[in-house]
Structure 1
Amino acid sequence: MATTGVDNLSEPPRAELIVPNLAIVRRLEAVGFRAWPAASIQYDGSWQIRLTAGHPSKRLNSVNPLDPSDHGDIEIRVERAARRFDAYDRPLVFRQSPLAPPQLEAFLDAHGWRRFDETIVMAGAIDRLDIDGGMDYLPVRDIGRYVDAAITVHGRDQSLKAGLAEVLSSIRPSSGLFVIEDDKTGPTATALCVHDNDMAGLFELATRADARRAGHGRDVIRAALRWARHRGAETAWLQVETANTAAVALYKGLGFGEVYRYAYRVKPGQ
């Protein structure tokens, strides 16, 4: 039997075939945009065009259609978006969630646009998630310290430091920057938790490659969500690529369930 996904975000997720509830998708998309803010946001109808010169994140540099009924003049609007991306020296990327018009998906298919990085958006009621074990960690207050730790843990290039710091400094809702560190080897896991009204979004979740399978990821998630729960958050949510099977299993084990999926599209050859 098909479901509407997590029909009420305070209800436990279910395992049947997911048919997304578009009202819930819209809410999660909105809190997601606030939690990971782009430097430039423009609209072409209901297509949100997000561009950020200082950081290459696809979520910060993509076209995000937000109304399934907004499908007029697709070819003209795609070309118009391409010119905006060219001005930022970015490849044109569409982020296709359940809010994207089917006609746009058909247009991209017909022109051979490649689909990649399918991502699952997961959610769960905080009081039903398994978050009460592990050590307590307080969020760090120094953005620079967190950025250094995140770059190390993710194995990213140091050139991204300024861009990541700019994104984190632009977040308007309350946010907790969590770092698990080892006295000898340095940072081992990081998480960004953004508390937005009754929602708590988890971002930048990572464990250093040589420190995995030791429970650090689970510990930093639990600490972040206990912090959010203390501040009044009732629902936790996160995003994970379908290819990251270990992370998907971890989140399911904590009690998260799938709400919807999205993927990115780029022109052939990009």
Structure 2
Amino acid sequence: MEPEPITGLEALMDAAWPAAEAEESGGWVLRAASGVTQRANSVWPREPGLDPHGLLARLREARLWYRNRRLPLIFQVFEDPRHAALNAVLDAEGFTRQSETLVLALDGGTDAPAADSDVEISADPSEEWLRLWWSVDGRGDDTALAVARGILERCPALYALVRDEDGRPAAVGRLAVPPGVACGTGGGVGAGGLSGGLYCMATRPDARRRGFASRILQALLHEGDAKGVGSYWLLVMASNSGARELYTRAGFHTVGRYLYRQERPKRHLTGC
């Protein structure tokens, strides 16, 4: 059975992780943020297209747009029939396939337990929160971290942090709640109502397997429920079996998947 399109959820995902610069081009959204995170520096093919010649023309325009920003050309391509023609063109052009990611959802609210008073919740990422998240998931220096902070703060969100017995930050997480994203009608995430996306779930390496990530997850679900969030989504690497197990226990199920398609760098002949 072919995967169902998750177009409404795609729009929520884009709004929850907004790039510093975004430009619509023929149904594609070109996104850039100084190279910080693949998601914010990739093409979201909102309307993938079907005609190979039209796709090649759009591809040339996107290539120039990213070249002008000194960034590689990367596509965030979802696995569903809508993207089949685009994937065929990218295959022919030699684009790589990397970072396969699962999209998980939890419909109709949760049965989250009472609030955990030891989990700190705030509307903005503290310096401690940022440093822990970046030490686990970040790529780059303080300048890159500042860009990443801008991405986080462009969407309303809640930030959770829990400490270990020594008072050190042990784990963090983020619940993004994009406002005013039109996602159609019907049931499920991205189909109307208020939806929240769980991001930046990170645990200090030496604090893993001690329940901190579960406490962060449950605390964010509790806070989301209190604010009227009726459905949730999250993104997890297909290779991260530990995280997938955590989310499955919490009731999440897979609704889609995507990967990044990156243009191979052109090799220039040098030397003899």
The two structures share one fold, judged by TM-score above 0.5: yes
- 1:32 match: 13
Output the amino acid matched with 2:18: P
Provide the C-alpha distance between the structure 2 equivalents of 1:256 and 1:226, rounded to a whole number of angstroms. 15
SS in 2 for 1:135: coil
Q: Percent identity?
A: 28
**Aligned-pair distance for 1:79?**
1.8
Whether 1:192 and 2:174 are equivalent positions in the alignment is: yes
- Contact 1:118–1:241 (8 Å) recurs in 2: yes
- 1:86 match: 67
**Aligned-pair distance for 1:208?**
1.1
- 2:213 match: 217
SS in 2 for 1:184: coil
**TM-score, scaled relative to structure 1:** 0.83
Whether 1:147 and 2:161 are equivalent positions in the alignment is: no
**Aligned-pair distance for 1:87?**
1.7
Provide the C-alpha distance between the structure 2 equivalents of 1:99 and 1:166, rounded to a whole number of angstroms. 34
Output the amino acid matched with 2:132: A
- Contact 1:66–1:99 (8 Å) recurs in 2: no
- Contact 1:152–1:187 (8 Å) recurs in 2: no
**Aligned-pair distance for 1:149?**
3.1
Provide the C-alpha distance between the structure 1 equivalents of 2:21 and 2:11, rounded to a whole number of angstroms. 16
Output the amino acid matched with 1:237: W
- 1:164 match: 148
Match of 1:132 among 113, 121, 127: 113
Q: 1:68 to 1:141 in 2, by over 3 A?
A: closer
Match of 2:77 among 93, 96, 100: 96
- 2:42 match: 62
Output the amino acid matched with 1:50: R
- 2:204 match: 208
- 2:88 match: 106
- Contact 2:136–2:203 (8 Å) recurs in 1: yes
Match of 2:253 among 229, 245, 257: 257
Provide the C-alpha distance between the structure 2 equivalents of 1:263 and 1:26, rounded to a whole number of angstroms. 15
**Aligned-pair distance for 1:100?**
4.9
Q: Mind listing any 5+ residue stretches in structure 1 that lack a counterpart?
A: 3-17
Tell me the matched-pair count.
247
**Aligned-pair distance for 1:35?**
0.9
**TM-score, scaled relative to structure 2:** 0.82
- Contact 1:240–1:248 (8 Å) recurs in 2: yes
**Aligned-pair distance for 1:163?**
1.0
Provide the C-alpha distance between the structure 1 equivalents of 2:139 and 2:49, rounded to a whole number of angstroms. 39
SS in 2 for 1:143: coil
**Aligned-pair distance for 1:153?**
4.2
Moved more, 100-109 or 82-91: 100-109
- Provide, for residues 202-229 of structure 1, a one-character-per-residue CA deviation record: whole Å limited to 9, x for no partner: 0111111111111111110100110000
Q: 1:255 to 1:266 in 2, by over 3 A?
A: same
- Contact 1:189–1:216 (8 Å) recurs in 2: yes
- 1:236 match: 232
Moved more, 153-162 or 106-115: 153-162
- Provide, for residues 80-117 of structure 1, a one-character-per-residue CA deviation record: whole Å limited to 9, x for no partner: 11111112211100111137532221111122211111
SS in 1 for 2:121: coil
Whether 1:43 and 2:39 are equivalent positions in the alignment is: no
| Runs (4+) off by over 6 Å | none
